[in-house]
Structure 1
């Protein structure tokens, strides 16, 4: 692992980290995550990104696949997919640090016109050691955070360079699909965008298939292949993730929370919540109220 990249990220995160453990940077889509102790399970629908782990360890599960990775390794998620993650190694003396870049589909689309396609296929999520060229570009970009004029002039070019080297990496074929206008990943992405925005209402599968430009049967096949879930399961996870945010951040009542995220039955909401998070919603509400 690059010691200079680690030190640059550590200093910036320590000076700018928020209460939720995320340090926003001046570069679009680029953040640094810091944690001082192992955390609870976090469930989310992850956007396409690369997470370069600088210190600590993290465990990530999606579908039937599980990964644990540590310093010097990067996790690439090349699709909107549900993940369960947990920081498993972090301490006051040795905090968890990770540099995270969300992929920009516009940049990927532009680069695809000049970057030759690789003939291999790779899964939508995977762990690999840091790529030397990606690490070098990241180090030069983070090094400009305290040089505003240089960052204004050079930052966007370095962000494009990061995307270029990622397309050239082992995960290039999976990442490439994010920028392809008519790829299956891009089509399913249009349906996922609807679910993200309209998760509270009952969205008909015909509407989603139409947005993806597919028949219902073909849409079901590709949606599950890319996200590991059916559209109904995907929407349910979105609802429950938002419900947990409401309970923990706002301390909202259970019945009100169930209604806010689109559940007609409080008992069904309670069962689904406990099945997904391993604890009933009442416990999380009590934790939120105690902390408040």
Structure 2
């Protein structure tokens, strides 16, 4: 499957022709790159990578799968090459429908699991993932076969060790759903002032419960998460635009240019201007990867 992934992996990291499927290939180690993960199942086919969520490092290698249950800002780097991986979106509505058909109860009263989990891939999950990738060589079958393979994949996930995480994604009233509402607000409104009390009300939890569950899912406090989202957005703007550091800082919500520069350098290792030069040089050399 590694050769098939390398042949079809897009250079611009766009989605593949199969809805929900992304392919990743890198033939050289990469620097740490900031990216936002959405709920997904990721399989490493060859090589290895590490992903950081807050201060927690998740290493994974060929044969490992990564299950992401929330919208999370992470940093990742390819360690061992050639690196080949794929990911498939985990759609909450699809999971919810499957839970109803299977008679799986909602998890509204259970605490959410961590937002990321690494484990060896169950053999039952490999075949539907491989068939999704093979559809790229049979484009006439994509529209008909993808929904059926997705249903099988979700069914197998709901009957695997990942079931608690996947059920939380599909349970509209689960604790994870409340945390996800707060996460989505932060990601959509990162430049605005934030009150944790408002987020806890949005999540439908007491302040102490919200703090506890938010940290379980993201490994960060709401304030730390808010800052990381701002800094990652600033970095993306610096890479793609021509605004200076001060203007970029104001755009993402910082009132003080010095505070923005200080926190940016602490997060990424260089001040904004120098980091932009490094990123563009690395990108032109083909050394960035977010898969």
The bucket for the TM-score relative to the shorter chain is: 0.7 to 0.9
1:280 equivalent in structure 2: 271
Indicate if the aligned counterparts of 2:114 and 2:216 stay in contact, CA closer than 8 A.
no
1:111 equivalent in structure 2: 98
- What stretches of structure 1 of length at least 5 have no aligned partner? none
| Counterparts of 1:196 and 1:267, CA distance in 2 | 23
**1:287 Cα deviation from its structure 2 partner:** 3.3
**1:164 Cα deviation from its structure 2 partner:** 1.7
| Counterparts of 1:173 and 1:37, CA distance in 2 | 35
Which of 3, 8, 18 is the equivalent residue of 2:11?
Answer: 18
1:1-292 matches, within 5 Å, as 5-13=1-9, 17-19=10-12, 22=13, 24-90=15-81, 95-115=82-102, 123-287=114-278
Indicate if the aligned counterparts of 1:117 and 1:173 stay in contact, CA closer than 8 A.
no
CA RMSD of the aligned region, Å? 2.4
**1:288 Cα deviation from its structure 2 partner:** 5.5
2:289 equivalent in structure 1: none
| Counterparts of 2:19 and 2:169, CA distance in 1 | 17
Indicate if the aligned counterparts of 1:209 and 1:215 stay in contact, CA closer than 8 A.
yes
User: Structure 1 residues 23, 259: CA separation in 2 closer, same or farther (over 3 Å shift)?
Assistant: closer
User: Structure 1 residues 217, 170: CA separation in 2 closer, same or farther (over 3 Å shift)?
Assistant: same
Indicate if the aligned counterparts of 2:40 and 2:90 stay in contact, CA closer than 8 A.
yes
User: Structure 1 residues 100, 261: CA separation in 2 closer, same or farther (over 3 Å shift)?
Assistant: same
Q: Which runs of 4+ in 1 moved over 4 A?
A: 116-123, 288-292
Indicate if the aligned counterparts of 1:249 and 1:288 stay in contact, CA closer than 8 A.
no
| Counterparts of 1:169 and 1:227, CA distance in 2 | 23
SS of aligned partner of 1:143 = helix
| Counterparts of 2:87 and 2:61, CA distance in 1 | 14
Q: Which moved more, 1:71-80 or 1:112-121?
A: 112-121
Return the structure number with greater relative CO, CA threshold 8 A, min gap 6: 2
| Counterparts of 1:224 and 1:28, CA distance in 2 | 31
Deviations 1:192-212 (A, max 9, x none): 111111111112223322221
**1:33 Cα deviation from its structure 2 partner:** 1.0
Indicate if the aligned counterparts of 1:57 and 1:69 stay in contact, CA closer than 8 A.
yes
| Counterparts of 1:276 and 1:159, CA distance in 2 | 37
Q: Which moved more, 1:146-155 or 1:253-262?
A: 146-155
**1:64 Cα deviation from its structure 2 partner:** 4.6
Q: Which moved more, 1:70-79 or 1:262-271?
A: 70-79
User: Structure 1 residues 124, 288: CA separation in 2 closer, same or farther (over 3 Å shift)?
Assistant: closer
Indicate if the aligned counterparts of 2:114 and 2:217 stay in contact, CA closer than 8 A.
no
Q: How many residues align?
A: 279
